[in-house]
Structure 1
Amino acid sequence: MPMALSNEFTGSILDLMRKRFGLQLHEIFAALPFELLRFNCELPKDQDLVLQWLTPHLKALEDVVSPTRRSLIAYLSRSGLLDPDKRPLMLDLGYSGTIQKILTHILERDTTGLYFIATKPGDSAIGDHHALLKGVFHEGVGWRDGCTMLDRSLLFECLLTAPHGQMVDIRQKSNREFEYFYGREAATQRHFQDLKTVFDGAIDHVVMCRHHGVNYTRADVQDLYEVFATRPNCIPHDVWHLFSVDDDITGNGMVNPMQMFAI
């Protein structure tokens, strides 16, 4: 719970339960009193207060999420993350490694994470275990420190997505297979065939570079990103519709970074 309350969010407790934790309304009303759901909070500033509000109801919340937890652990086990001979390696865009730390807590084993950007690199103690974070392009930078790849990383997040969008729940069926439940679709999900064309072009370019011995340094990648992320009309108009992202987890709904960054 402290990790879940440490990231930014603004809204009511009802919104927090629905958007960050992915609970359905009937589950929320079964676990929490109506009066509490009307309280507003601003995270992480109010995290101690919110934890105080929720503590008397943690057992009820645990009962609500227990089917998801059992299914998730079964999924992680089948994916090989509980293999005692291999340390799990997680790949992500960034930044502070919250998901890796939560998985370290759930798996009860040491993990390593490799990120485009690691705002807090190094080793973090999670109970009796450790989560090691490493950054590829940047380490130890903060928001609004002048690092464009971080400050405008929302452009990355729009594109590095799956056809079905954000998964909000999982269940294991009687035949031991898994059933997945997803949140609402952003524009990238509705037009995923266009995004796949971008993916295919990127992969073709990497193959061509490998074939001809062309390499990009970290500085080259950063400079290229700086151009596309800050100059008007450098991103082709034909792909503008792909830049929207479901930011419900922070309480912001659908976000369009092209408008946000005025590019």
Structure 2
Amino acid sequence: MESIAELQISQARFSSFGTSFMGPTLSFFSHNLAKSTPKNTPLFFLAREGYWLEKAYQQYLSGSDKQGNSCYLLASRAFLFKLLLSDSRSYEYSLKGDFNGSFFDLMRTRFLLSNTEIRQVFSDDIIQELLYLPHDRKKIIDVLTQHKELLDNVISSIKKPYLAYLASLGVTAQSTLHLVDLGYSGTIQSLLTILLDKDTVGHYLISSKPGEHRIADNTATMKGYLKEGVKLGEGYLPLDRSMFLESLLTAPFGQFRGIRFNTFDKNTFDFYYGRKVSSQRYFYELEQVMAGALEYCHHTGKHQIEFNSDELELLLNNYLSKPNMIPRSTKHIFDIDDDVTGNGTVNALQFFGLA
């Protein structure tokens, strides 16, 4: 059993790591958000990464004595893929990438349909058919189109409460929706643009597709504050190894998978999540890491300390490329789930050979 002294040393180690590794990144992003967002414009922070990004933004503002309207918003790619399963405008995003398996597996893993829901909508012949993406994309779209009415019935149980949840946060009252995420291609932003039929502005640390994009009848604008116009695999290390940032910037729960009206109070909601990875099971340790980062954001806001992109890139490149820069005691909190792409749980340090 750890002594109090050993526990304090452990906490200090985690906090110090958070200050040096995550602090500058969160401070840089928060500073640019504060500088670039029109006054009184609410910012909605998305997905699991948004949990800590929103806290960092508020810490930065509190240090600088500025006011900012922000809110954490539950969303995930897979949940929105399911919510828009009967909307053909979403297929550009939900059927992108590779897949090799049965139609049943595609519906279950990528679209979060339960076994019962799949069998409720599709025949056994369809369920058992083997598919390959992108080769069979048109065939899949034809099947989904033919079953649109049945899919609408399945989706209605989550669509109505989710829209009510968004309304309760003030999302639906906005003429133009400002969304914040770590990056990179803006899939969740694009899906929310379709779902809500609203113009959106996406604020990202790194944006692979900056500028204005026409999505259905609306415009989605994407901005990247550290870097724009870079894609995975092109050699830009903060993006190619963004898994390091994603594994630490996680909420205490697993992937957002569903929502229902509360049985006893229709004005409140019950949320459902997927399995937890190590950083969520050991969230009390992650909180120690992020405590150092948040304190640093407050400090830089208070003293108006700024980083330029070159300085932040230099720091990140060192941490993301050199062995032993990241303390071994934090190794277990660098797990991330990659279920949407079928890779399961991945440890960033092991994946890039830095363990």
TM (norm. structure 2) is 0.70
User: Which of 107, 118, 127 is matched with 2:196 structurally?
Assistant: 107
1:50 offset after TM fit, Å?
2.2
After TM superposition, which residue ranges in structure 1, 4 or more long, deviate above 6 angstroms? none
Residue deviations 1:169-198 (CA, integer Å, cap 9, x gap): 011225120000000111111000011111
1:63 lines up with 2:153 in the alignment: yes
TM (norm. structure 1) is 0.93
> Whole-Å Cα distance in 1 between the matches of residues 100 and 247 of structure 2?
21
What corresponds to 2:248 in structure 1?
Answer: 159
1:244 offset after TM fit, Å?
0.9
What corresponds to 2:176 in structure 1?
Answer: 87
Q: Which structure dedicates a bigger proportion of its chain to helix? A: 2
What corresponds to 1:24 in structure 2?
Answer: 114
User: Which of 222, 229, 234 is matched with 1:140 structurally?
Assistant: 229
1:10 offset after TM fit, Å?
4.3
| Residue 207 to residue 107, structure 1, CA distance change in 2 (3 Å) | same
> Whole-Å Cα distance in 2 between the matches of residues 43 and 112 of structure 1?
30
Describe the SS at the equivalent of 1:88: strand
1:124 lines up with 2:209 in the alignment: no
What corresponds to 1:33 in structure 2?
Answer: 123
1:183 lines up with 2:274 in the alignment: yes
Describe the SS at the equivalent of 1:94: coil
| Residue 9 to residue 155, structure 1, CA distance change in 2 (3 Å) | farther
Gaps of 5+ in 2: 1-89
1:230 lines up with 2:335 in the alignment: no
1:123 offset after TM fit, Å?
1.2
1:215 lines up with 2:306 in the alignment: yes
Do the aligned residues in 2 keep the contact of 1:9 with 1:249 (CA within 8 Å)? Answer: no
| Residue 11 to residue 95, structure 1, CA distance change in 2 (3 Å) | farther
1:20 offset after TM fit, Å?
1.8
Gaps of 5+ in 1: none
User: Which of 246, 254, 257 is matched with 2:345 structurally?
Assistant: 254
Do the aligned residues in 2 keep the contact of 1:13 with 1:40 (CA within 8 Å)? Answer: yes
1:240 lines up with 2:331 in the alignment: yes
Describe the SS at the equivalent of 1:134: strand
| Residue 214 to residue 10, structure 1, CA distance change in 2 (3 Å) | farther
Greater relative contact order, per chain length (Cα 8 Å cut-off, separation 6+): 2
Describe the SS at the equivalent of 1:164: coil
> Whole-Å Cα distance in 1 between the matches of residues 131 and 319 of structure 2?
36
Do the aligned residues in 2 keep the contact of 1:123 with 1:130 (CA within 8 Å)? Answer: yes
